[in-house]
Amino acid sequence: MNAEQIADILDDMGTLLEIRGENPFRCRAYHNAASSLKSVTGNLATMVADGTLTEIPGIGASMMTKIAQLATSGQCTEYEALKVELPTGLLDLMRVPGLGAKKIKVLRDTLNITSVADLRKAATENLIADIKGFGAKTQTKILEGLDFLDTAGTRMLQHTARKIVTPILKAVSEHPDVIRSSLCGSLRRRAETIGDLDILVSTNHPQQFLADMAARPEVVQIIAHGDTKLSVRLNQGAQCDIRAVTDAQFPFALNYFTGSKLHNIAMRKRAIARGLKLSEYGLESDDGTATVCRDEADIYKALGLDYIPPELREDTGEFALSEAGAIPKLIETQDLTGCFHNHTDWSDGDHTLEQMAEAAMTKGWKYLGISDHSRAAAYAGGLSIEKVQEQWAKIDKLNESYGGKFRIYKGIECDILTDGSLDYPDEVLAGFDFVVASIHSGFGLDHDAQTSRLIKAVENRYVTMLGHPTGRLLLARAGYPVDLDAVISACARTGTMIEINASPYRLDLDTPHCRLAAQRGVMISINPDAHAIYGLDDVEYGVGLARRAGLSADQVLNTFDDQKVSELLNSKRDRT
DNA sequence: GCCGTTTTCGGCCCGACTGTTTTCAGTCG
């Protein structure tokens, strides 16, 4: 069982304990441990064996015992006992808006409700309104919540969230009563997937502003509407929270509503340690003296910290960096000089070589790396060796026509076959400027076989970079089982780069492994995997992920000038 | 259950909104 699966079980255990009515701090300890475990990149088995797991914050002796059991056998005595006592259908009830552990416990104790189906039946039969502490409105809310769960997914991709929030943000910023406004929450932190949309404004007329927002056409349901906070459901099913504060409060509120939750807790604890109290409204000392902060940077400064960019605010080491004055200068989209891993109509792309190159030039880029599919990817129009040579000739011609002002790099997205060999012989691979090696088949191999397959592939001297290393599709498909830690080590050893596949559907590498790879000296390439000219814009999502991983421009291949990029592309084959 | 730059015991972030209550508990972020 891997770290992520174990983290999910610890989360479930924490929730079941809440429903049982345990000490809330003990319950939270399980959630904290789960959260820590999710950012672990090292080999879990090793950490269990040598006891280093307890060095991770939030994991003590007791948690380690449970994690060790789960890691080796996939089971844990206490979890099994909990599942017997409390049906796991109760966990699904936590997803119903308005229901928490306390209410779920009451529902189970009074009506023996232990599943979503039980709940719907009881609410439909009007049994819930009579329970002490509940009522008609709560019952209606539960039914609405159940309908919502039926129709909407729980999280959305970043580009979906952006599409929904952009017109609202525009309306907010143009509202006459608004002084400052900003996107907050996980979208501002550029998290891989988004739960809801958060918008903050400063204004002197909060009630009027919130009333205007509540009346907007895309609002289909008001979830909560107070003097400073409005929570609505939009017609696409997404929840949007809008908060209004005074302009003096704005930086504090911006910091607070950007999160993450763990980052906020660390911030408040830091304030307490300095005899201060931090909230979304200000920073005060015990005697009530307020510290004036004009922007977020002032808040960090007041707590003895350098500014921490939103993408790093996950409490995964950013405080130590900030204290040490070592927050890196994070990569920005303007740093990109071009990009690799793009498809054309030679395989399954929509646009021609010329159109793709022109789109890249329009973005101010100096080069574009084309990598259509290799022959094994027949479903995607993979290129035969003859076609490859034909494309090379075409690219040579185009490059000549650009007169040195722009360059197309000849590449291929070469399938890694089941045995770890590549889809073309080395003599053909040698003719490309770069080779992206990816898995598109054989997802069913077991953990060890998949790991050796990938390691064998990156050991090929012509493989420049590894493409979408886990094959995951966000919210749709988990990655294949693989020891990424070992694969990253193999890349570091062989001088193979790894791509951040910047497609918002993939974002593969994930953040913790991207950080790990960079720390081990692996060069990262931010690749849009574009299948059309507009797909080139997806580099933006890759930049977001790179920033979350703490990468600066010099750790990313496609920020260098054309000459340096060529050198880097050749460095692996030149050294072997 | 975890943790220690005042603590190995006694804390553990904190405020808005809602619905059900007669002053507050639960949920949410």
DSSP assignment string, A385-406? HHHHHHHHHHHHHHHHHTTTS-
CA A15 to CA A81: how far, in whole Å? Answer: 14
Closest nucleotide (C1' vs CA) to A275 is B6
Q: Say how far A132 CA is from B22 C1', in Å.
A: 15
Task: Report pLDDT for A435.
Answer: 97
> Closest Cα to residue A296, out of A253, A337, A239?
A253
A23, closest nucleotide (Cα–C1'): B1
Q: Which nucleotide is nearest to A274 (CA to C1')?
A: B5
Nucleotides of B under 7 A from a protein CB: 1-3, 6, 11-21, 25-29
Q: Which residue lies nearest B12, CA-to-C1' measured?
A: A25
Distance CA A351, CA A364 (A): 19
Q: Is the previous residue joined to A353 through a cis bond, with omega within 30 degrees of 0? A: no
Strand partners, A245: A202
Separation between the CA of A96 and the C1’ of B2 (whole angstroms):
30
Nucleotide B13's nearest residue (CA vs C1') is: A265
Between the CA of A571 and the C1' of B6, what is the distance in angstroms?
A: 56
pTM over cut 0.75: yes
CA distance A241 to A228: 11
Can you name the residues that pair with A198 across neighbouring β-strands?
A241
Whose C1' is closest to the CA of A140: which nucleotide? B19
Q: Is A433 left (phi over 0), alpha (psi -120 to 50) or beta?
A: alpha
- The distance (Å) linking the CA of A81 with the C1' of B15 is 37
| CA gap A209, A117 in Å, rounded | 40
Instruction: Name residue, tokens 């040490």.
Output: A324
- Determine the protein residue whose CA lies at the shortest distance from the C1' of B28: A98
Asked whether A417 and A454 are in contact (CB, 8 A), the reply is: no
With distances taken from each CA to the C1' atom of nucleotide B5, the closest residue turns out to be A273
Q: What does each of the 576 residues of chain A score in pLDDT, given as a tens digit? A: 888 889 989 999 999 999 988 888 899 999 989 988 887 877 888 888 888 888 888 899 899 999 999 999 989 999 999 999 988 889 989 888 888 999 999 999 999 999 999 999 999 998 998 898 888 889 988 888 888 777 666 688 999 999 999 999 999 999 999 999 999 999 999 999 998 999 999 999 999 999 999 999 989 889 899 999 999 988 777 899 999 999 999 999 999 999 998 899 889 888 888 888 899 999 988 777 889 999 999 999 999 999 999 999 998 889 999 999 999 999 999 999 999 999 999 999 999 999 999 999 999 999 999 999 999 988 889 999 999 999 999 999 999 999 999 999 999 999 999 999 999 999 999 999 999 999 999 888 888 999 999 999 999 999 999 999 999 988 878 888 899 999 999 999 999 999 999 999 999 999 999 999 999 999 999 999 999 999 999 999 999 999 999 999 999 999 999 999 999 999 999 875
Tell me, in Å, how far CA of A317 is from C1' of B13?
A: 19
Smallest CA–C1' distance to B20, residue: A133
Residue type, A346: W
Question: To which H or E segment does residue A484 belong?
Answer: helix A484-494
* Placement of tokens 């209606």 in the chain: A140
A184: nearest nucleotide, CA–C1' criterion: B29
CA of A272 to C1' of B11 (A): 13
Rounded to 5 degrees, what angle do the CA atoms A48, A54, A58 make?
A: 125
CA–C1' span, A272 to B8, in Å?
22
Which DSSP string do the residues of A157-183 spell out, in sequence order? EHHHHHHHHHHHHHHHHH-TTEEEEEE
Q: CA A58, C1' B3: Å apart? A: 9
pLDDT at A152: 62
Nearest residue, CA→C1' of B2: A58
The gap between A239 CA and B22 C1' (Å) is 33
Instruction: Using the structure, give the distance in angstroms from the CA atom of A276 to the C1' atom of B5, rounded to a whole number.
Output: 16
Which nucleotide is closest to the Cα of A36 by its C1'? B2
- Closest-lying nucleotide for A30 based on CA to C1': B1
- Which nt sits closest to A27, CA to C1'? B1
What's the CA A11/C1' B15 distance, rounded, in angstroms? Answer: 25
Pairing of strands A497-501, A524-527: parallel
| Distance of A489 CA from B10 C1′ (whole Å) | 44
Query: Closest nucleotide (CA of A133 to C1')?
Result: B20
> Alpha-carbon Rg of chain A, whole angstroms?
26
Q: Please tell me the distance from the alpha carbon of residue A36 to that of residue A46, in angstroms, as a whole number.
A: 17
**In angstroms, rounded to a whole number, what is the distance separating the alpha carbons of residues A17 and A32?**
14
DSSP codes, A63-128: HHHHHHHHHHHS--HHHHHHHHHS-THHHHHTTSTT--HHHHHHHHHHH---SHHHHHHHHHTT-S
Closest nt by CA–C1' to A264: B13
In the block, residue with structure tokens 């209004």: A244
- Which 8-state DSSP code applies to residue A5? H
Estimate in Å the CA A59 to C1' B3 gap, whole number. 10
Query: What is the rounded distance in angstroms from the CA atom of residue A576 to the CA atom of residue A338?
Result: 27
State yes or no: cis peptide before A525, omega within 30 of 0.
no
